[in-house]
Amino acid sequence: MSSRDTYRLRSRSRLLTAMRVSAIALVLIAFAAAASAASAWSGGGGGQVNIVRQGAPPPPWKIPANTHYYKTIQAAVNASTSGTWVLIEPGTYYEEVKVEPAQSGIWIRGMNRNTVIIDGQHRVGNGIEINKANNVWVENLTVRNFEFGEKEGVECPDEECGNEIWWNGGPSSNGVEAHGWWGSYLTAYDTGFRGGYGIFTGHETEGSWENIYASGFADSGIYIGACQECDARVSRAVMENNALGYSGSNAGGKLVLENSIYQHNLVGIAPNSEVPGDRPPPQDGECGRPNIEHPDPTPIITTTRIPRSTIIRGDQILDNNNLTVPVNESTGIAPWGAGVELPGDYADLVENNEIANNPNDGVLGFEYPNPTNGEALIKGEDPFYPFTVYFQLAGNRVSNNVFLHNGYNNKASPFAGDIALMGGFSEIELFKELGYPESHSVNNCASSNLLTDATFPASIQQSQSCAKATTPSPGGGLPAVEYLVGLQLEADAIREAVPPVGQPAPPPQQTMPNPCQGAPKNPLCP
């Protein structure tokens, strides 16, 4: 073989080797990129997995290094740190679970929404409490029958007990002390009389719930409270057979309730301003309020043309007529039979909803002196708000909704029907004597709604049109107050004749299609 031929063979060999190396390098780069993307998508990649199993764990040689087994959910949570996944196998777990700040950044996920059950057995306590921990996910499980009442000789009221799933940002702080609450494919229900809240967050910001269900609660199925700028979203929820489907005291700013069903509750949706609980007030949906840190409890809204970021949209709000549900001290006095109730609310947007078959009002908004029995506050026992606060109804917009068959229970009243907005309570002589300040329930508006029943004021889409830069107080005076009190008395009389009953357990709900999605590789998710 000539030297030229030898050179050609060597060159060809070098070329083939270089091509093979390049191809292998390209494959490795592509694989690494895919692995990196998968890790980022999973939120944890190769993180620790704590599996909860009531039976015996697998043999040690079948358990990978990143996985540990526990008999109880609480033990698995206690062993978790940021990035840990707590995966719960099907079973009924008779325990309370508490997540502390040291467990911030963990996932708690059931492997089946309907067969992973945390059961309170109608005892006093909370199902899952996330106590001032940030960025905690709870997904794909059921919590039931944890209640408020007396525990070990001490009264534990609702809010402190009776919560099925509770992201607790610290109610005693009067401020926000945690952020990041995330929940999906959750079921919460109570079949007794003392379930307080189904799915609950307070004094926290930045979160979302989706594909959730709650029923049977004396306060509300879902609750968001005490966040002036909540930065939160609720979607694909079903709230039924509760005193309130949704309640939100002093929760505003960026907050969206959308694409959900609120039906067969005493009241469907009820954001509200409140003192002294869940400070700071008020409930205010204005975008970018300049005084978030030190909010004015009774802001003045000067025009209908304000940006609003607290939004109720795309929901079905139907048949909120259920007087058989359990109630507590606050929900028992709520005007019943309304789809959306706005007590002392500011700058909320109600749009593109179906609001139908609510016996008294589709949307009911009114001024709200709170606390209405403010004797203790008047005596100066509350250093922050020593007197009743006269929350106004101002700057709210109701537009592009479909209203059908609302107000059928009170056809003779001018305040029953599709929309009723009320103000001007300062003109009532008794209220004047009590020192009610000048009313500022102005710049509410209604436009482009399909209306089939009465409104107050009459012809509301003309007198309170959103095309106007300003609108006056809707008025109502003493007859409006008498209407609201009459609804309370009517509910009391009906409940006395036919006492409330425990609500039925719900049927199975849609479970998470792939409970392994995002989780690190482990024996449950190979």
- Given a cut of 80, whether residue 516 has pLDDT beyond it is yes
pLDDT exceeding 70 applies to what percent of the chain?
Answer: 87
Q: Is 389 helix (H, G, I), strand (E, B) or coil?
A: strand
Q: Which of 331, 437, 344, 457 is nearest to 393 (CA)?
A: 344
Rounded Cα distance between 460 and 474, Å, is 9
**What is the signed CA dihedral for 421, 463, 351, 353, rounded to 10 degrees?**
70
Rg (CA), the chain: 28
Residue 90 tokens, joined: 């099907």
CB burial of residue 123 (10 Å; 0-12, 13-18, 19+): middle
What is the distance of C-alpha 383 from the center of its chain? 30
State the average pLDDT for the chain: 88
In which element (H, E) is residue 318 found? strand 316-318
Q: What is the pLDDT of residue 40?
A: 31
CA distance 220 to 209: 15
**pLDDT of 432-475, one tens digit each?**
877 788 999 999 999 999 999 999 999 999 999 999 999 999 99
Question: pLDDT digit string (tens) for 132-145?
Answer: 999 999 999 999 99
The amino acid present at 287, given as its one-letter code, is C
% of the chain with per-residue pLDDT over 90: 77
pLDDT tens-digit series, residues 42-69: 344 458 999 999 999 999 999 999 999 9
Which residue, 500, 510, 11, is CA-closest to 236? 510
Give pLDDT tens digits for 219-261.
999 999 999 999 999 999 999 999 999 999 999 999 999 999 9
Report which of residues 296 and 508 the model is more confident about: 508
User: 352-410: per-residue pLDDT in tens?
Assistant: 999 999 999 999 999 998 875 444 443 444 445 556 889 999 999 999 999 999 999 99
- pTM of the entire predicted model: 0.89
